[in-house]
Structure 1
Amino acid sequence: MNFNNLLITYNGAIGQVVINRPKKLNALNKETLQELHEAFSALEEDDEVKTIILTGSGEKAFVAGADISEFAHFSEEEGGRLAAEGQETVFNYIENLRKPVIAAINGFALGGGLELAMACHFRVASHNARMGLPEVSLGVIPGYGGTQRLPQLIGKGRALELIMTASMIDVDRALSYGLVNHVVSQEELIEFCEKLADKISNNSSVAISHAIKAVNAGFKNSNGYAAEIEAFGACFGTEDFKEGTTAFLEKRKADFPGR
């Protein structure tokens, strides 16, 4: 896959997506959002890829926000369409991807950048990372799911404070809030994420995809418990379930076929 604003690499069963606009602090423009959709679509269909790491190029930013120059003069209708299309093709798409996506936050994750990280299944940050949703300082609100995912992750009160003050927080506060799962040095960030990805890849990819779907259902206008029951039952019809239970009974390591 060749892109203008992304770098795609592979390490065994791990696919890595790097947003590569360092001169713009990896800000999200229309082209980059389209490329992200295409990249994640291709990685989801690649049977060799079990887990995906998403990060930014350079040492300053994961994604410092959206490219404001592209929408500064938009009308109400254009603004609404911008949010709807972005959520559908990238942010919601990543959240509902069948394969786990780990955000490796290597610097500033602001506005659309934090929204992108929150759309991933979990987050690991380097010590220099800073996070926030500064949209109200521009006279607008988060439009790529920030008003929904941030309260889900850190609670309503903390989320409203961050949104209304347009403040940045450091990694210590992000960790204490539950916004990130782990904090490591910038030098260790990708290696740490790869170790997590390897642990995930050793398990049933089919079961993991069902788990993602069931967990997400609990945060939507649906019955998460019913979704869990349905997904649990579906697992019994998979080759991965047969292999996993057989391996357990035979006291050996499972070799999941991913079906």
Structure 2
Amino acid sequence: MNHVSYTVEERIGYLTLCGAQGNKMTKDFLDEICGIFQKKIWKSRIQGLIIMGEGRHFSSGADVEQLIHNTVSMSDICRGEVRSYPSWFLDFKQTLNGIAAMNIPAAAGVTGVCIGSGLELALACGIRICADSSRIGFPESTFGLLPGAGGTLRAAELMGSGNALLAVLEGNLMKGTEAVKAGLFQKSCSKKEVKRECEAALERAWSMKTQC
């Protein structure tokens, strides 16, 4: 089963999350995302990237039970100290760092639910646009976990360390309009306008680049 699709239209690459259960991020899902970036996106000549979810949701986050099992069973743990993490986890974290460091504009277009690992993916994009009605947040603490792929640091940069800490520890979800006020996203709009707004944001980014 394909969890992700990638197409190119004119100069924009479109990465679409199309997994089951609201694009839940299983190990296979994460492996596929990392593979597409390594084999296609990093090697392409696109001038902009848009990441969106197919269907109602951007992503319902990690498959918590599966990822906990895989993380514990594949990590090198000695006397309670984690000496090394599994490659799939490090690959995903490196992929997010790569997105954040891209020399082309990358936009996350969020509709529906965007939580946990899904939010970490969105925050790696320099442009973040969500639907007014989206539900956004880091619920990991309600499972006794914390975001582990750089999302906490990016959230702290965007909304301040104190607000980010509170958001992570409480694990509450906020509406899209609230996420904009908090600084996590730059703009919210109606669900049907999210893709168009992302494309318009890329156009503005290109225009600003040519003026510099």
- The TM tier, using the shorter chain, reads 0.7 to 0.9
1:32 partner amino acid: F
Mapped partners of 2:152, 2:120: distance in 1: 9
- Flag the structure with more relative contact order, 1 or 2, with Cα contacts below 8 A and sequence separation at least 6: 2
Mapped partners of 2:163, 2:192: distance in 1: 30
Does the CA contact (< 8 Å) of 2:60 and 2:113 recur in 1?
Answer: yes
Alpha-carbon deviations, 1:90-120, whole Å to 9, x = none? 2112112222210001111111111111111
Mapped partners of 1:39, 1:201: distance in 2: 24
Number of the residue aligned with 2:43: 45
Number of the residue aligned with 1:98: 103
Mapped partners of 2:72, 2:65: distance in 1: 14
Residue 87 (1) aligns with residue 96 (2): no
Number of the residue aligned with 1:12: 10
Number of the residue aligned with 2:62: 66
Q: CA deviation at 1:76?
A: 7.8
Mapped partners of 2:202, 2:180: distance in 1: 20
Which one has a bigger Cα radius of gyration? 1
| Alignment TM-score, normalising by the size of structure 1 | 0.71
Does the CA contact (< 8 Å) of 1:132 and 1:169 recur in 2?
Answer: yes
Mapped partners of 2:55, 2:120: distance in 1: 20
Matches within 5 A, 1:188-199: 188-199=193-204
Q: CA deviation at 1:154?
A: 0.4
Q: Which has the higher strand share?
A: 2
Number of the residue aligned with 1:36: 33
1:146 partner amino acid: G
Gaps of 5+ in 1: 206-243, 246-259
Residue 108 (1) aligns with residue 105 (2): no
Matches within 5 A, 1:51-200: 51-59=48-56, 61-73=57-69, 74-75=71-72, 78=75, 81-82=85-86, 83-88=89-94, 90-200=95-205
Q: Secondary structure, in 3 states, of the residue corresponding to 1:28?
A: coil
Mapped partners of 1:63, 1:191: distance in 2: 20
Matches within 5 A, 1:244-255: none
Change (3 A) 1:7 1:97: same
Q: CA deviation at 1:4?
A: 1.2
| Alignment TM-score, normalising by the size of structure 2 | 0.86
